[in-house]
Structure 1
Amino acid sequence: MKKIIFLYLFLTMLGGFACTNKEGDDDEWEKLIESEAKAAAEQYKYLYSQTPKDRMPKTYYPQEAKLESSSTSWWTSGFFPGTLFYIYELTGDQKVLDLGVEKLEILAKEQHNKGTHDLGFMLYCSFGNADRLNPNDDYKNIMLTGAESLASRYNEDAQVIRSWDHGKWQFPVIIDNMMNLEFLFWASEQSGDPKYKDIAIKHSNQTIKNHFRDDYSSYHVIDYDPANGEVLARETAQGLHDESAWARGQSWALYGYTTMYRLTKDEAYLYQAKAIAEFIFSHPNLPEDLIPFWDFDITEQAQEKRDVSAAAINASALLELAKYVSSEQADDYVDKAKIILKNLSSDPYRAKENEIGGFLLKHSVGHFKANSEVDVPLTYADYYYIEALLRLKKWY
């Protein structure tokens, strides 16, 4: 009997230690999120002060000490105000909210832009977050007009939304386009018109059918025949080569299908998201810190540039995907997201105050082969980093 009691007390003590350690871990993360959010608020106020009033910050070139901004028609234009709204949500800093609202004024005209598929990034990440925090009919009307502009790029014969209007392709669709579909679901919910949601589902299904290899890695670009939907080419424009796995493309896919599952509860989307996660996190070329190189199939040391933007997207996606899987798998996804966020919040990835013009994260890659935005901060890396911190906060 004494042995049994001793064993019980011993196990209880271990359980107490486990509980204490978990509580300690929770406290540590809450403090880190609070610290990162406060620092981000100050850095983004500075970034705002360095950006022309009619422009959006895009990247910063450390060697030249040069901030590069963009017009609102550039695909990343919605991320800066969106990040400001996320920072406000984490801090309650009214000044940050006000700066985000100011930037919406120059962005509103993009609701009429029918020349891009990226209106989800541009309008839903910005006006969508603004409206979520402070519901506003003007914001809703702008987004509904924008959703109609996006829907105008849909081809019923191919059952996909056209991505680019440039290049050699007849009807190119890139994996990035998965990120604009939530915007269409929102439009159906708000308008009562199911056509937007239906477009998103058809596009998503065609992408599963045509974009993925047997190992669940994704091509970047699929070129369709707009007359009948036949696949004309499978390519990887921003990756190393056509059969390589461009890192950010895999991240867009993971995030996109996780979101599609939330919106539809279609098990095919959940299966796809889990399979993509397995590809990413079991890949032998993924570094131990879980911050991927810009392509999973790099072959030379000269190509070894990390893409922090892909890591930030992955962390945010995993924290949502964890809601829809078994508790054991959820723990694994959350643990991986924490590893990513812990690493992104410290050297060599996290910038010091005003170090890179006010951006938060260093070492992203836009388009390596074109020598465009290589090893620089990028506005969307910051956006998904803060989003991931916000999602992690909601776990506690």
Structure 2
Amino acid sequence: MNVNRRVFGLGLVSLGLSACSRIASGTARSTTPDELPADLYPVSNAAYDAWVESFRSRAEAQGISRSTLSTAFRGAGFLPGVVTRDRNQTEFRRTLEDYLSIAASDERVEKGRQAYARHRRTLDAIEADTGVDAKILTAIWGLESYFGERQGLIPVISATSTLAFEGRRGRYFERELMAALRIVQNGDIGASRMTGSWAGAMGHTQCMPTVFQEYAVDFTGDGRRDIWSEDPSDALATTANYLRRHGWTRGLPWGGEVGSRGAGPAGRVIQPQAGGPRFNVTDNFRVIKRYNPSDAYALGVGHLADRIGGGGPLRTSFPPDANGMTKADRIALQERLTARGFDTQGADGVIGSNTEAAISAYQASRGLPVTGTPSLELLRSLR
């Protein structure tokens, strides 16, 4: 099974198929960790400006006030980087083994356990009210925004209006833009604070504006449904409400690896990657997929939730990859490269751009053909 980028969120704030920074107009500039890439600042675009003018009349006809429109579009603009990302977001592919390695990495599991403990009272109250497992909610939070650390800095009005104007999915994004304006008009958040992914997914659990409208919850009782706040309560309750209304069964586990305690006797067996672990999944696994329609995503949520709850790694190994290497081989390769001074920026067994760059640098230093490709031969040469 390969997992493409459309479902590979994991806190990367990408497309945001999930259910659920202020930009100043002007020239591009260099970025810091708290700023956006240059192509995600507004640029002049006469056609976009004309589209916004025509949209205003449609919005007013649907009940959006002129004052809301004026406030929302103040400082908004065409974002070329949003269009680029929309057109180039389906190429990157990973195996299920890699996906789960990242979804339930040691770092994410530890952060998840800390977040679960820190917000245990709120999570337990939400579970008591909705029936949705608190650890499942914590895992979704971890995959969507890395427990709130990566919610996205792109203004939602600019992002959704750019995509509505661009036209490839114009009707869809015009509905999202209209919903975003209603959220502003309702007073849940000011337009300048409404930020998210390049596709408009927002907050701790990355809800699209239309989903926010239908499912958002004011759990804190302050009169606003604030899924962006440092306090994740409203966002977690919103996600629980979404899952509950899509059929979550109280007390039913999502499933688990075949043969494990959590697998349970009821459900169906799936094996997403040939030769890899098999999973017994229940109706609640199907409900998780309503949040994001990928088996890999739902397995990532379920496995991370189990690890947050104290469970261990999967018991069944995945088969060797296309290069004949197991995960243990890939980890050994990363460790040995780093020890030789070719830093892979971690040793998790996932071959990404950092590892490929380290391999290329090592190959060049030895006068070998520079491919950046891992292999057992390369591993042996590092012994």
TM, length-normalised to structure 2: 0.26
Q: Between Structure 1 and Structure 2, which shows a larger proportion of strand residues? A: 1
TM-score with structure 1 length normalisation? 0.26
Instruction: Return the structure number with greater helix share.
Output: 1
